[in-house]
A and B are shown apart, each in its own frame.
Chain A
Amino acid sequence: MTDTQSPAPLMEVRNLSKSYRVGGGHRLVAVDGISLSVMPGEMLGLVGESGCGKSTLGRCMLRLTDISAGQVMFEGRDITTLPERRLRPLRPRMQMVFQDSSACLNPRRRIGDLLAEPLRVHPGPDQRRRQAADIERRVRDLMELVSLPVAALTRYPHEFSGGQRQRINIARALALSPRLVVADEPVSALDVSVQAQIVNLFSDLRTRLGLTYVFVAHDLAVVRQVSTRVAVMYLGAIVEMGATDDVLHQPAHPYTAALTTAVPRPVVGATPPPPLGGDIPSPVNRPAGCRFHTRCPYVQDRCRMEAPVLRPIRPGHEAACHFPLPPS
């Protein structure tokens, strides 16, 4: 196993599509033929506005929803059509953290119980049922890992603040020592001061446990803080992907540029640039050609006819644009 040149991706998605039937015989294409790979130890940020399909993509990766077309590979193995029974042994290695910290925790169960549950359900690394003492030790370790007092194990979810509940959710996702964690807007429901704590926790856990993250968020600054690479999504497709600061500071796609300039910065005096016009089109009725052409300030005739594909712009930087912006 000498994969020093090109390590195998932990998670790979090929031509993945996910569509839903909606009223009137229409189809809502939430994810439209996306291909990407996540390397071990990488932190991939998926950013975009509502309806861009970033959450759906995250769920498809973990097979939490059915896939309409394409392939999902985890640890080099095709899991696209794996039945749930054969998927179960893989579940401990891929976990999800959701946005709403309170909705994911059964309000009538103690924290200790909630954390022990996945350990009781899934066998240990030796394929045997875990011993009660092992479970207890692991639960205590988890509490320490997310900086919560062990004494809190006997309390109920409602006794915690939003930030603490999100710590519990993270602890639960980590209970089975996953390799891949998909976090869907894990900090967007939190206040700024608490959000920073959880963002730090994600960074700390990565260094301590060597985790691989897919971090789904709409907040560019948060994504920048936690990701090594970002993929910017618009209407079901990736429009730009590359190293975080490269993409955010030298965007090649006009949408990424508009997204970064639209973020209000806590600096007085900086005149905000003119905002991007128009609304995000409905994913049911997507524009032809480039999906961004209805709002793009640099739109050309070609953009209305021909859909651009994701192609390398610079080393390690891809964009789906016929006329990529030059580096500034």
Chain B
Amino acid sequence: MTTVFFQNNFEIEIIIRMICAAICGFVLGIERSRHGKAAGIRTYMVVSIGACIFAIASKYGFSDYVGMGRDADVARVASNIVSGVSFLGAGTILIVSDRVTGLTTAAGIWAMAAIGTAFGTGMYIVATIATLYIFVIQNLFHNKLTRKRVYVKVPGSVDIVMDSSEKSLNKVLGVFEKYQMDIDTTGIERHKDDSLLYRFAVNFPESTSIIDVVSDLSNIKNVQSVDM
């Protein structure tokens, strides 16, 4: 399960493990960075290397000083990586206007710490396999946007000024349906004369062109202005 490449020169072994952890952090972090997430390449690499160092220290750092009345549980320090990184992850989670965001990033950091720990203990193959799985999953998600069930939808808002007829509202809802936009909340405000200002909080697929939606909405009769 665990491999040690350099039995004689352990320092080199350690460096190799850290480099592997860093590389895997890089590989998985690229995807996050490309989407402008707060935890990008650097965070993933650093978490991976950090977990790796903790694991190495846990496993090899204490056995030289054990003796009478002094014991070492080589897994103890490493076990705290798990709880520790969860604190970090929980801090990544933000609640903005009653929406929870940053959950995928937090889970990603959690998985990254696991991979770093695996490299630290010397489980090269298992760690690489896990990295591969996550890499494939990440890319699967951004290529399969046509499958309804795994849609990645992002939050947004649409403000429309139009008349108060139900017909117009139906047409707007029709446009939303066409672009597979889900309405979270609806707000209505009385505007000048008899018109109403609608504020929709929506969720729409990442790949949607906002310009298309706005132009479709503006083409509806009685719609005075659209803001997205």
A, B in one complex: no
A-side residues, CB < 8 A to B, are: none
State the B residues within 8 Å of A (CB).
Answer: none
